[in-house]
């Protein structure tokens, strides 16, 4: 295995910080983050942490994409969250001082920073503004998770797939010609199935149907949304 090169990325000048939780930290706090921070390149497939292990710090994506997931007793994977540049992951276990209850694996390579637990908790405890911000984030996460639960519990696989495509379009959409939007994230059909909670074959089949209905187009792995309104109709609601 090659030696991992530590990349120098300053939180104070990190472009990904723009809309992250760190976005309104003051200069001192941001500089204190840099002191013990490490920042390395991760390749696709590398795992940041495993469910059941103890968090020692906070991961912050400077670039790349990560999936956060749980594995059931019978070996099935359920993706709980996707993270992209600017996103934190693993903060909940850190805050509540528990073991991770999900795993995180890189799905698109990128630079990921790691802030030691002590530094993160120090800011959390000494900066009430940041503490509040974190609390707000947890509230948001909870709301999102509740909505996902309802969708998975009450909607058909077809509806969930349509809703998921719309959600992915929001988060990863690249505008193309003729109103088409490329979903710019390297998700396999299996990953997609593991977001929705269904079988890989079912996703493949339904994507084919959506293609035949000219709601989407498929160029290999990547999916392009042609008719978002049509998908909204299929989803019978908006947002998974």
Partner DNA sequence: CGCAAAATATGATTTATGTCATATGGGCTG
Partner DNA sequence: CAGCCCATATGACATAAATCATATTTTGCG
Query: Which one of the spans 69-77, 172-180, 184-192, 212-220 is the region binding a copy of itself (CB under 8 A)?
Result: 69-77
- Cβ closer to a copy of itself: 39 or 163? 163
State the Cα–Cα distance between residues 173 and 190, nearest whole angstrom: 20
**Residues 141-180 close enough to bind DNA by CB under 7 A:** 156-158
- Tell which positions 186-205 bind DNA, by CB under 7 A: 188-190, 197-202, 204-205
> Residue 85 Cβ, how far from DNA at the closest point, in Å?
20
Contact status: 77 vs DNA (CB under 7 A): no
Dmax (CA) for the chain in angstroms is 56
Decide: is 154 part of the binding site for a copy of itself (CB under 8 A).
yes
214 binds DNA (CB under 7 A): no
| Residue number, 114 or 131, with CB nearest to a copy of itself | 131
Q: Is 46 in the site for DNA (CB under 7 A)?
A: no
Which of 12, 95, 199, 232 touches a copy of itself (CB under 8 A)?
A: 95
Euclidean distance between CA atoms 79 and 103, whole angstroms: 9
State the binding partner of 162 from a copy of itself, DNA, none, CB within 5 to 8 A by kind.
none
Residue 139 interacting with a copy of itself (CB under 8 A):
yes
Site string for a copy of itself, 178-197 (x = CB under 8 A): ------------------xx
Q: Do residues 198 and 213 lie in contact, with contact meaning Cβ atoms separated by under 8 Å?
A: no
> Using N-to-C axis directions, what is the helix angle for 200-212 and 157-172, rounded to 10°?
80
Residue numbers of the site for a copy of itself (CB under 8 A)?
Answer: 70, 72-74, 76, 78, 80, 92, 95-96, 98, 101-102, 131, 134-136, 138-143, 145-150, 152-155, 196-197, 236-237
Residue numbers of the site for DNA (CB under 7 A)?
Answer: 156-158, 188-190, 197-202, 204-205, 207-208, 218, 220-221
């Amino acid at each position: 295995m090659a030696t991992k090169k530590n990349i120098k990325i300053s939180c104070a000048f990190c472009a990904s910080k723009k809309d992250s939780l760190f976005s309104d930290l003051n200069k001192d706090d941001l500089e204190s983050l840099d002191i013990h921070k490490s920042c390395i390149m991760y390749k696709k497939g590398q795992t940041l942490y495993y469910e059941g292990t103890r968090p020692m710090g906070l991961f912050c994506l400077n670039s790349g994409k990560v999936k956060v997931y749980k594995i059931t007793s019978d070996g099935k994977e359920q993706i709980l969250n996707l993270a992209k540049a600017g996103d934190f992951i693993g903060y909940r276990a850190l805050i509540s001082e528990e073991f991770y209850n999900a795993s995180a694996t890189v799905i698109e390579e990128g630079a990921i920073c790691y802030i030691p637990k002590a530094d993160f908790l120090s800011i959390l405890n000494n900066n009430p503004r940041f503490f509040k911000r974190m609390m707000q984030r947890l509230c948001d996460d909870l709301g999102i998770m509740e909505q996902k639960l309802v969708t998975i519990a009450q909607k058909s696989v077809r509806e969930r797939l349509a809703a998921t495509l719309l959600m992915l379009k929001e988060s990863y959409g690249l505008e193309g010609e003729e109103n088409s939007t490329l979903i710019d994230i390297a998700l396999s059909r299996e990953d997609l199935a593991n977001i929705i909670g269904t079988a890989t074959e079912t996703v493949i089949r339904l994507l084919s149907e959506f293609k035949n209905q000219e709601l989407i187009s498929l160029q290999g792995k990547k999916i392009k949304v042609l008719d978002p309104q049509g998908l909204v109709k299929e989803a019978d609601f908006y947002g998974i």
